[in-house]
Copies of this chain bind each other. A is one copy, B any other.
């Protein structure tokens, strides 16, 4: 696969997967083959497959879960307006949670737990 038309391989793979998803060949919730399997299937390198999956992930078509796999999202079925409302709700939820966290940090006087982030 990934015949050498002028189109880059990672775009070809992304296109193919996108077609399968939109065509219903890959139903929502279905896990995609693993990166290694896709690489073998398309006769491409792991990097190219990762780039292709990254594109679909960025588009919201698939959702990658570290340690588990990449699953087909419910994209296409969710209208944009719905998503906007959902985003608003999520932002509101985040605001509340963040306020709580900030309050905990403020009230806990000198939390002597050396939590270095590095």
- A binding-site residues for B, Cβ under 8 Å: 4, 55, 58-60, 80-81, 83-85, 87-91, 94-95, 97-98, 101-102, 104-105, 108-109, 111, 113, 115, 117-118
* B89 pairs with A58, CB closer than 8 A: yes
Report the copy number of this chain in the oligomer. 2
Q: In angstroms, how far is the closest chain B Cβ from the Cβ of A89? A: 7
Q: A87-B87, A117-B4 are in contact. Are A94 and B98 (CB under 8 A)?
A: yes
A84 to B98, CA, bound (A): 21
Asked if residues A58 and B60 are in contact (CB atoms below 8 Å), the reply is: no
Roughly how many angstroms separate A88 CA and B85 CA in the complex, as a whole number? 11
Q: What is the chain B residue whose CB lies nearest that of A5?
A: B117
Measured between C-beta atoms, what is the minimum distance from A58 to chain B in Å? 7
User: Least Cβ distance of A41 to chain B in Å?
Assistant: 23
Residues on the B chain within 8 Å of A80, using CB: 81, 84
Q: Closest CB of chain B to A85's CB: distance in Å?
A: 6
Q: Is the CB of B108 within 8 A of A113?
A: yes
Residues of B within 8 A of A101 (CB): 98, 101-102, 105
